[in-house]
Amino acid sequence: MKKNKSNTTRDRISALPDDVIHTIFSSMDMKKVIQTSILAKRWRYLCMSTPYINFRFHLETCKKGKKIARARFVNFVDRFLYIREDTNIHKFSLQCEIVLRPCGIHTWLIAAIRRNVQELSLELESNEDYFELPSNLFTSDIKVMKLEPSVNFQFVLPSTFCSTAEITSLEMRRVIHPDGDSNGDVVLIRFAVLKNQIIGSCFWRYLNVLSVSTPLLEMLEVVHLFDPRNKPIKLNLCTPKLKSFIYTDLYGEYNLGNLAAVFIRALYEESECEEYTIGCSIYF
């Protein structure tokens, strides 16, 4: 607030453009965003239409028991998504260190998808061993996705895993891929416009070969592909635009496809290849 020459108070906060206020909201937890509604009249409406939604719950803030804290957190998320204006969501982030029920997570994700969410980040706990992600999650308009469940909890990818034509950045840790059988089928990861991908500590059922065929991929990081049989997993890469490749595992065989010539050339002259970090031997 600032007084002008006529000694009347001018609300400089309310004078900020909507985009500026939403940018301020983008790094704040939604409870804090709601609390800002007391600062100015315009803010009470803008907080209900912000395209940046961050729900965060940390155990260190839990003062009245986990059950009560969980009930209050779930109720807050439910009520906010119910009364929020029916406008598009740019980023939806859910970070929670307390156990959540899969049915609640599913409902929140569907609400975000229906509002054309562009960026999705999930860092969660659950009272189940795993949670099956909605099938339309990978056929939506999401461009950036981060999946990182807790150590004792895993996401199960749908069969439409590679169906999206929009996603450009994908980070997934501790996820289960449903494909593959006891004969050791090839699991193919193929995205049309994906540029950055991180695969960390993922569980692949009966996997012999993991093939990544993504024409625009520039950065790939693979950390510990887990197979219940503890057998080596063959990694095939067909990624002609790749600039950075990081692989960390105990064993494995690696086939870089048409990337091999690019990799060898990078050893002797300047090229677009910037970094290749491999945990063990590579076979061309």
Tens-digit pLDDT profile for residues 42-66: 777 888 889 999 998 876 666 667 7
Closest CA to 127 of 96, 157, 148, 158: 96
Tens-digit pLDDT profile for residues 121-148: 998 876 667 788 888 888 888 999 999 8
Q: Enter the pTM of the model.
A: 0.80
Among the residue ranges 78-87, 175-184, 200-209, the one predicted with the least confidence is: 175-184
Name 220's Cβ contacts closer than 8 Å, sequence gap at least 6.
197, 198, 199, 212, 237, 239, 242, 244, 245, 246
Tens-digit pLDDT profile for residues 255-283: 555 555 555 444 444 444 444 444 443 44
Query: Does the structure show a pLDDT above 90 at 149?
Result: no
pLDDT at 246 (0 to 100): 80
The partner residues of 3 in beta bridges, in order of sequence, read 9
Tens-digit pLDDT profile for residues 16-29: 788 888 888 888 99
pLDDT at 12 (0 to 100): 72
Q: Element (H or E) spanning 188, and its range?
A: strand 186-189
Tens-digit pLDDT profile for residues 216-252: 999 888 887 766 666 667 778 888 888 888 877 655 5
Eight-class DSSP state of 134: P
Query: Does the structure show a pLDDT above 70 at 15?
Result: yes
151-158 average pLDDT score = 80
pLDDT at 284 (0 to 100): 37
Mean pLDDT, the chain, integer: 77
